[in-house]
Amino acid sequence: KGCSKLKGVRHRLINDPVEAGTFILIAAATRGKVLVKNVEIDFLELPLKKLKDFGVPYQIIGRNAVKVMPWRKLKIDKIQSLPYPGIPSDLQSAFGVLATQAEGPTLIHDPLYEGRLKYLEELNKMGAKIYFADPHRAIINGPTRLLGRELDTFDLRGGAALIIAGLIAKGKTIVNNIYQIDRGYERIEERLQKLGADIKRVKV
């Protein structure tokens, strides 16, 4: 319902739940112990529940922080992206990298967007064992030791997933077209450096 006159209000913008979720999944994939702050817990309720079901231990600290701890056994049967409150399609690719380290097969299903599984082709270059059922579904067989390769970024979230893959791979990984990643993650390499990652941005 409209009104005749508008007035100013003070409104707090929420933190980006996808960015926080990505860093939580970075911690999980690298088996690190990481405290992620400024997390919108309500928006990540199902992804966090799934992580616990998969075997990734974590603690919710206070109202907006998540402490991720190293897992001992990882088992992921299925990852299906759905609109909120489901697993966001924007986190599907990061979950996909995590699935390469899980025991047994994992079904990845993203029915929402075309081309969202293209990053999996790049993971296969690294030695992953991934088979495509159709443009929206793939089977990841793990665990697999990924090997460093030169990779191409096709979209924002897939590019972030390739960085995660590079962090857990043996050897050097080069991720091209990082302007895609910059659209959603500010100075991601600097923040990963603070966590101890051997990563740098280079000009070619």
Domains with residue ranges and CATH for the chain? 17-194 (3.65.10.10)
2 pLDDT exceeds 90?
no
203 pLDDT exceeds 90?
no
- For the chain, the first-to-last Cα distance in angstroms comes to 54
Tell me phi and psi for residue 92, to 5 degrees.
-60, -40
Q: Which of 18, 70, 80, 26 lies closest to 44 in space, CA to CA?
A: 18
Residue 93 pLDDT class (50, 70, 90 cuts): very high
With beta carbons less than 8 A apart as the criterion, state whether 142 and 117 touch: no
What is each CA distance from 71 to 13, 87, 188, in whole angstroms?
33, 21, 24
Average pLDDT for the chain: 96
Any idea of the CA torsion for 36, 155, 116, 124, to the nearest 10 degrees?
-90
Question: Given this model, what pLDDT does residue 4 score?
Answer: 87
Q: Which of 10, 167, 25 lies closest to 88 in space, CA to CA?
A: 25
Calculate mean pLDDT across residues 82-104.
Answer: 96
Name the pTM for this structure: 0.94
Residue 76 pLDDT class (50, 70, 90 cuts): very high
**Spacing of C-alpha 165 from chain mean position:** 10
Question: Given this model, what pLDDT does residue 180 score?
Answer: 96
Question: Given this model, what pLDDT does residue 125 score?
Answer: 98
154 pLDDT exceeds 90?
yes
Which of 85 and 21 is assigned the larger pLDDT?
Answer: 21
* Angle, alpha carbons 175-88-54 (nearest 5°): 85
